Amino acid sequence: MNRKPLFDLLRRLMRRPFRQGEVDEIDAALDDVLTDRRSANTSLQVSTAGIALIKSFEGCARMRADGMVEAYPDPGTGGAPWTIGWGATGPGIGPETLWTREECDARLRTDLERFGSEVETALAGAVTSQAQFDALVSFHYNTGAIGRATLTRRHRAGDHAGAAAEFARWKYAGGRVLKGLVRRREAEAALYRSGSQPAG
């Protein structure tokens, strides 16, 4: 972008030349605006780092000796929702469900597209870094709560510190704190913070 016409206009309006510090501040502000516009208009997809985070906590559990993967009960309730592969739940998944590893991987790809799209919709165009998006997709993949969570509202408002603090609230399953959820929320918050710009 050629910034000279903008600077010329501002000089005329101010009726004096700029000091170097003012030029630097205007340049930085323009950089922020242009970066924000690109971020807000670019469709994000879960990165390799985001997928690795999700896989590290979901695991492709209950692999049998014959190579098939079997469903398992929710650790918080001891029953529904039944889960298989990389954390897949939903209709048709119950105590007798068996999938191949290829079916587990294919379902993960489909689920990540769906959850990523739902996160993008919930963020309503808010400027979001790749690390923040990955953390939010992991959160939503596990909780399904991106549309109602306070952390989403705080992110949309630009309160990234407040949003990061909200992850820790989502550590309960079946009415009790699960250590695995505490660890997952800590990892998601750390990833989210790594993509946040300091205020100022």
Rounded CA-CA distance 148/150 in Å is 7
- Could you give the percent of the chain with pLDDT greater than 70? 84
Question: For tokens 């190579």, what's the residue?
Answer: 67
pTM over cut 0.85: no
| 96 noted as active-site residue | no
CB 72 within 8 A of CB 81: no
Give the list of residues 6+ apart from residue 67 with CB closer than 8 angstroms, or none: 100, 101
Among residues 51, 43, 48, the alpha carbon closest in space to that of 141 is found at 51
pLDDT in tens, 38-73: 444 457 899 999 999 999 999 888 999 999 999 999
Catalytic-role residue among 58, 120, 166, 188: 58
Give the tokens for residue 115.
């959850």
In the chain, what are the domain boundaries? 1-42, 46-58+101-194
CA angle 165, 169, 172 (to 5 degrees): 155
Among residues 122, 108, 123, 113, the alpha carbon closest in space to that of 56 is found at 108
Can you tell me the mean pLDDT for 95-121?
96
pLDDT in tens, 121-176: 999 999 999 999 999 999 999 999 999 999 999 999 999 999 999 999 999 988 89
- Per DSSP bridges, beta strands 69-70 and 172-173 are unpaired
Question: For tokens 């710009």, what's the residue?
Answer: 197
Among residues 108, 115, 49, the alpha carbon closest in space to that of 83 is found at 108
Instruction: Tell me the CA distances in angstroms from 121 to 84, 108, 145, 147, one per residue in order.
Output: 26, 20, 13, 9
46-58+101-194 has which fold? Lysozyme (1.10.530)
